[in-house]
Structure 1
Amino acid sequence: MSRKQSPSARSIRSYMPDKGQSMYTLHGLLDPEDTDGLFPLAGEPRTSLYGDLPDAEAEQAASKLVGGHSPFLSQPRRLAALIDEIGC
Structure 2
Amino acid sequence: MLLVHGAWHGSWCWDRLRPALGADGWSTRTVDLPSAGGDAGVHEDAQAVLGELDRIDGPVVIVAHSYGGIPVTQAAAKAAGVSRIVYLAAYQLDAGESLLGFHGAPVPDEPAGLRPVPDDPLPMFYGDVPDAEARDAALRLVPQSTRSFAEPLTEAAWRTVPSAYIVCEHDRALPPRDQEALAARSEEAHRLASGHSPFLSMPQELASLLAKIALGSAG
TM-score, normalisation: structure 2? 0.19
TM-score, normalisation: structure 1? 0.38
Structure with the larger RCO, 1 or 2 (CA within 8 Å, 6+ apart):
1
More strand by share: 2
